[in-house]
Amino acid sequence: MDTIFIQLAVILFVAFVVSYVARLLNQPIIIGYIVAGIIISPFLVKIGATIEIINIFSQFGIAFLLFIVGLHLNPKVIKEIGISSLVVGLGQILLTFGAGFLVAWKLIGMDILTSSYIGVALAFSSTIIIMKLLSDKKQMDSLYGKIAIGVLIIQDIVAIGVLMFISSSLHKTSFNSFGFEGLIGGAVMIILLFLFGYLVLPKITRNVAKSQELLFLFSICWCFIVAALFTFVGFSMEIGALVAGVILSVSPYATEISSKIRPLRDFFIIVFFVILGLKMQISNLQSVIVNALIFSGIALIFKPLILMIFMKFFGYTKRTNFLTGITLGQISEFSLIVLGLGVAVGHIAPEILNTMVLTLIITILLSTYLVIYSNKLYSVLAKGLVIFEKKKIRKDRKIEKKYDAILFGYNRIGFSILNSLKKVKKKYLVVDFNPDTVAHLNKFRIPALYGDVFDLELLEDLPLDKIKLAISTIPDLETNKLLLESVRAVNKKAIVILRAHSIDEALELYKQDANYVLTPHFLGGEYVAKMIKHSGLDEKDYDKEKMKHIRMLEKVKAKGHRHPDVEAN
């Protein structure tokens, strides 16, 4: 036991030092975790480290991580995005599987069963990485973020089916006999659990939530019970942990549960990536590097291209298509679980798992940089990406040359702003990059234009030199800076109101001559302060504000808006 603690202490210390250096060099901290694992690996082998214990700890960490991931994979996201996530997700899985299978079989010369495993491994994207990067960039509620999460949910549903199909073979003698029974049995169990989650779980969580400690304990207990149940009936604990999280994600307390277990999440993210680096033996690189690079190319290049082509037919802008494709351009932790099960049942050789571990590391490393610098990369590639956008979009643009105000981004904030523009009877235009939103606004005869503010051609087409007011509810700093520069280049007198996520971003926009910057996290407190100053302790005034607020919330809800699940950073 003492040896295990010493090993863990060494792993965490090296992870801290390497990650600290990575932060000083302005590199993603995830990179530091993986590099730390690679550095530590040969030393642990030399001192006779207990690899079995580390592997058990790794499995435990992955299961717990998948539970936390499941908490953020609310199935309602698919409903919000619509049929596009379903079609894009399934289409991408099938075509990426096909590409991986053919490359492994025809180009590299692997057998059909091994090639099938390779195709499956390449088809999935990393839920852990994507959720972490979207959270760090504060893009969880962006259009491309929602589409990416929707596709992830589809991938995870398919992955659960694949894992059930493979893991059930541990108890069957015939490859042909186990799959159908396993899938049916697993599907029935998942349906029963979701029914329990819908009918019984809300009553339990309602009572438990009265105590923060009990809510925390119950959520961990639920994860272990469902994971143990799946293990007991012959499936992997990882499936159970993910399903447990997804079932809890529809609970009204999902956000609170997520924030409570955030420290555990952060710890296991560290351990997961360090152990991922540990699994990559430097001495084995020469034998697997070529194949790993080929498979990495499929994940980093082919998969994003497939996603962008499918999204093009749903009418999204080339920038939304590009950002979604780049975000999903890596392979998944599920891939290692699938391949690990394949090794356990004797379907594939252990060398294949080593190859895909290196592929996972390469794709995570490169995709992390691609996502972080995606806006700059888009600026360089924008002209060439026009093939991933419908030409009809630009031809259908009918822009009048006279508007008093343009609202960029129709969302919860934009809804209230639009009502104010109506009341002051100013001629306005709404610009949004969600085609469903634009169609919805046009149905109510609200002048709306489909377009992406980051598109210079769109900004050149808009009559920015004539407007008196430009308002952006888009939270992306780079987009707002581009909009501000474009307006100021042709119109010095226009009032420009922008939105920022942080104090530093707000101050930066003020330095560049924004008239006002919305900071939603602080506006609520500011409004309450003014209300207290105006109303004092007069209960009638608060009742009036209450009724006014209720009416506004009901109107917003009727339009289909809801507050997003908050991801604590």
- Side chain identity at residue 3, one-letter code: T
Q: What is the pLDDT of residues 145-183, one digit of tens each?
A: 888 888 988 888 888 788 777 766 655 544 444 455 556
Phi and psi at residue 498, to the nearest 5°: -125, 175
HSE on the CB side for 421, CA within 13 Å? 23
Predicted local confidence at residue 298, as pLDDT:
95
The whole-number pLDDT of residue 568 equals 34
- Look at residue 59 and tell me whether its pLDDT is greater than 50: yes
Flag the least confident range among 112-121, 252-261, 278-287: 278-287
Tell me if 149 sits within 8 A of 73, measured CB to CB. yes
Encoded amino acid at 496, one letter? V
Do residues 454 and 392 lie in contact, with contact meaning Cβ atoms separated by under 8 Å?
no
Is the model's pLDDT at 372 over the cut of 60? yes
Q: What CA–CA distance (Å, rounded) separates 64 from 262? A: 11
What average pLDDT does the structure give for the chain? 80
Q: Which amino acid is at 198?
A: Y
Nearest-CA neighbor of 373 among 215, 137, 20, 187?
137
Displacement of CA 238 from its chain's centroid (Å): 19
The Cα-based distances of 115 to 104, 124, 172, 349 in angstroms read 5, 15, 22, 12
Contact 104, 349 (CB under 8 A): no
* Angle in degrees, 0-180, between the axes of helices 350-372 and 285-297, rounded to the nearest 10: 50
Q: For the segment 219-261, what is each residue's pLDDT rounded down to a tens digit?
A: 889 888 998 888 887 777 878 888 888 888 877 777 778 777 7
How many CA atoms are closer than 13 Å to the CA of 503, on its beta-carbon side?
A: 1
3-state secondary structure of 518: strand
Q: Is the pLDDT of residue 386 over 90?
A: no
List the structure tokens of 305: 């291209």
How far, in Å, CA of 25 to CA of 534, rounded? 50
Residue 144 CA to its chain's centroid (Å): 9
Mean pLDDT for 418-439 is 80
**How far apart are the C-alpha atoms of 99 and 102, rounded to whole Å?**
5
Alpha-carbon gap, residue 228 to 236, rounded angstroms: 9
Largest CA distance in the chain: 80
Highest mean pLDDT of the ranges 20-34, 80-94, 530-544 = 80-94
Q: pLDDT over 90 for what percent of the chain?
A: 16
Q: Is 75 helix (H, G, I), strand (E, B) or coil?
A: coil
Q: At 5, list the tokens.
A: 């603690």
User: Which of 180-194, 443-457, 486-500, 545-559 has maximum average pLDDT?
Assistant: 486-500
pLDDT at 310: 92
Contact indicator for 310, 69 with CB cutoff of 8 Å: no
Cα(348)–Cα(387) distance, rounded to whole angstroms? 40
Q: How confident is the model at residue 565 (pLDDT cuts 50, 70, 90)?
A: very low
Question: pTM (2 decimals)?
Answer: 0.75
Which are the contacts of 425, defined by CB distance < 8 A and separation ≥ 6?
none
Residues 308, 387 contacting (CB under 8 angstroms): no
Run of H or E including 401: none
Residue 73: name the closest of 201, 242, 186, 240 by CA. Answer: 242
Interacting residues of 145 by C-beta distance below 8 A, sequence separation 6+: 134, 139, 327
The arithmetic mean of pLDDT across residues 447-473, rounded, is: 85
CA distance 326 to 311: 13
Q: Which residues, at least 6 apart from 372, have a Cβ–Cβ distance to it below 8 Å?
A: 28, 133, 137
Lowest mean pLDDT among 105-109, 279-283, 381-385: 279-283
Residue identified by tokens 């999460």 is 149
Instruction: Collapse the DSSP code of 194 into the 3-class scheme (helix H, G, I; strand E, B; otherwise coil) and give the result.
Output: helix
The residue-averaged pLDDT of 344-373 equals 86
Q: Which long-range contacts (CB under 8 A, 24 or more apart) does 493-497 make?
A: 493/468, 494/464, 494/467, 494/468, 494/469, 494/470, 495/468, 495/469, 495/470, 496/469, 496/470, 496/471, 496/472, 497/469, 497/470, 497/471, 497/472
Structure tokens at 127: 């839920």
